[in-house]
């Protein structure tokens, strides 16, 4: 059997197909995790809330491109972390608090202070990990200002306020920017739903402290739905689906799930929302009633009062007055006849 030569077009198509598959595989590998994204330049009106197990990103621009990078102070109740991050060639910076770290953090408010060394290129406020003290560097001998870890340390907002005052001192040329956020156990809540009828289309929603683009599983099922035998009807009435968490307008994010109850049966329904990756679950109930029967609309009857036209009374003409003749006596009638005869009697002279 003589092998047929392979077409160049087929080879090129195969190469492109393999290339596209590689791109898709790489894309799945580098998809960023859901996270709280904070920038000191565009701070929210109130500190956002993030769930344990979600990442936190803080990014911005550091002018002057400091060679030593920036110092990041993360302070909470019974927690303090101080680290140094580098500045990119375009003067941008990014600090990430990873999922594994937030999962172990206690609930509460956390403060992030990003410190810039400014003109002298040195950090004038530093942290001594051995003693847990915040130190002010000065000629001859460094001076401890307060403690943020260990015995007698300041906690939470007190430690953050003391650090801000230290870096903001007139004798220190360092500058800084701050952001803050809350960490809580993951949760998801459902807004009150209210009753609906078969055939309605509506949206069920709620709020959560999960990060934007986290996945939520929404399940709606009839309260009477349960496992049945082969001879029983176990028809499912409800809906299920996965929705993404969307940005909220306040401290919490939002989620929405569209519902079409056209094929549902009247019953009480249970709604549950749960996180795909975190241990969180919320529930709510509502009722679906019989399909609404449209009521024909009757045009409203006008209440205006109509005044009937005046009745027309026919007018009968009055009879003309008659003159009563005097009664004729028999002699008078006889005399008249005689006179008429004499007047019209022919004359004898003409005979």
Q: Residue 267: which of 237, 311, 231, 247 has the closest Cα?
A: 237
d(Cα 139, Cα 159) in Å, to the nearest integer? 25
Fold identical between 35-184 and 188-289? Answer: yes
**Alpha helices (H) in the chain, listed in sequence order:** 8-30, 99-102, 156-167, 330-344
pLDDT attached to residue 270:
94
The mean pLDDT of the chain is: 77
d(Cα 172, Cα 116) in Å, to the nearest integer? 11
Residue 351: pLDDT band with limits 50, 70, 90: very low
Per-residue pLDDT, averaged over 206-226, amounts to 87
**pLDDT higher for 212 or 25?**
212
* Tens of pLDDT, residues 11-61: 444 443 333 333 222 222 223 334 566 666 565 667 888 888 888 888 888
**pLDDT higher for 336 or 85?**
85
* Tens of pLDDT, residues 81-90: 999 999 998 9
Residue 128: pLDDT band with limits 50, 70, 90: very high
- The token duo for 246 is 């969307």
- The token duo for 326 is 């005097």
When mean pLDDT is compared across 7-21, 141-155, 252-266, the lowest value belongs to 7-21
When mean pLDDT is compared across 97-101, 137-141, 271-275, 303-307, the lowest value belongs to 303-307
Tell me which range, 6-10, 13-17, 64-68, is most confidently predicted by mean pLDDT: 64-68
Residue ranges covered by each domain of the chain: 35-184, 188-289
Residue 334: pLDDT band with limits 50, 70, 90: low
Percent of the chain with pLDDT over 70: 67
**Which strands, in side-by-side order, build the sheet including 55-61?**
35-38, 55-61, 92-97
Residue 125, pLDDT above cutoff 70: yes
Residue 252: pLDDT band with limits 50, 70, 90: confident
Per-residue pLDDT, averaged over 206-227, amounts to 85
* Half-sphere CA count of 348, side-chain side, radius 13 A: 1
Q: Residue 196: which of 270, 262, 287 has the closest Cα?
A: 287
**pLDDT higher for 253 or 344?**
253
d(Cα 9, Cα 266) in Å, to the nearest integer? 60
Task: List, as one string, the DSSP characters of 235-285.
Answer: ---EEEEEEE-B--SSSSEEEEEEEE-TT--SEEEEEEEEESSS--EEEEE
Class for the domain spanning 188-289 = mainly beta
Residue 65, pLDDT above cutoff 90: no
pLDDT attached to residue 277:
77
Per-residue pLDDT, averaged over 141-163, amounts to 90
CA angle 35, 40, 45 (to 5 degrees): 80
Report the greatest alpha carbon distance in the chain: 194
* Tens of pLDDT, residues 235-249: 668 899 999 999 887
Record the pTM.
0.61
Helix (H, G, I), strand (E, B) or coil at 17: helix
Residue 295: pLDDT band with limits 50, 70, 90: low
> Where do we find the tokens 């003589």?
2
Tell me which range, 31-35, 50-54, 163-167, 345-349, is most confidently predicted by mean pLDDT: 163-167
pLDDT attached to residue 29:
27
Helix (H, G, I), strand (E, B) or coil at 15: helix
CATH 3.30.70: does it fit domain 35-184? no
Residue 306: pLDDT band with limits 50, 70, 90: low
């Amino acid at each position: 059997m003589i092998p047929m030569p392979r077409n160049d077009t087929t080879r090129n198509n195969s190469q492109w197909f393999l290339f596209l598959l590689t791109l898709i595989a790489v894309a799945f590998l580098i998809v960023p995790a859901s996270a709280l994204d904070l920038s000191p330049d565009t701070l929210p009106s109130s500190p956002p809330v993030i769930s344990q197990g979600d990442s936190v990103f803080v990014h911005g621009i550091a002018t002057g491109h400091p060679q030593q990078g920036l110092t990041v102070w993360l302070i909470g109740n019974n927690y303090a972390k101080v680290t140094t991050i580098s500045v990119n060639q375009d003067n941008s910076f990014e600090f990430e608090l990873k999922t594994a770290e937030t999962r172990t953090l206690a609930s509460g408010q956390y403060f992030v202070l990003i410190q810039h060394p400014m003109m002298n290129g040195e950090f004038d406020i530093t942290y001594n990990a051995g003693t847990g003290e915040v130190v002010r560097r000065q000629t001859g001998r460094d001076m401890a200002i307060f403690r943020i870890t260990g015995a007698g340390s300041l906690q939470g907002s007190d430690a953050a306020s003391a650090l801000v005052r230290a870096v903001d001192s007139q004798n220190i040329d360092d500058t800084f920017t701050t952001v803050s956020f809350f960490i809580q156990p993951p949760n998801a809540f459902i807004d009150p739903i209210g009753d609906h009828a078969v055939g309605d289309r509506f949206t069920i929603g709620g709020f959560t402290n999960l990060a934007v683009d986290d996945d939520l599983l929404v399940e709606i099922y009839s309260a009477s739905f349960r496992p049945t035998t082969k001879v029983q009807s176990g028809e499912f009435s409800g809906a299920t689906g996965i929705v993404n968490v969307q940005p909220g307008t306040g401290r919490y994010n939002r989620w929405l799930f569209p519902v079409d109850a056209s094929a549902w049966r009247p019953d009480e329904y249970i709604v549950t929302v749960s996180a795909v990756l975190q241990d969180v679950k919320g529930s709510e109930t509502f009722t679906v009633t019989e399909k609404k029967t449209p009521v024909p609309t009757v045009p409203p009857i006008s209440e205006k009062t109509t005044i009937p036209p005046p009745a027309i009374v026919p007018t009968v003409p009055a009879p003309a007055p008659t003159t009563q003749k005097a009664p004729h006596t028999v002699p008078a009638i006889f005399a008249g006849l005689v006179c008429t005869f004499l007047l019209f009697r022919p004359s004898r002279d003409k005979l």
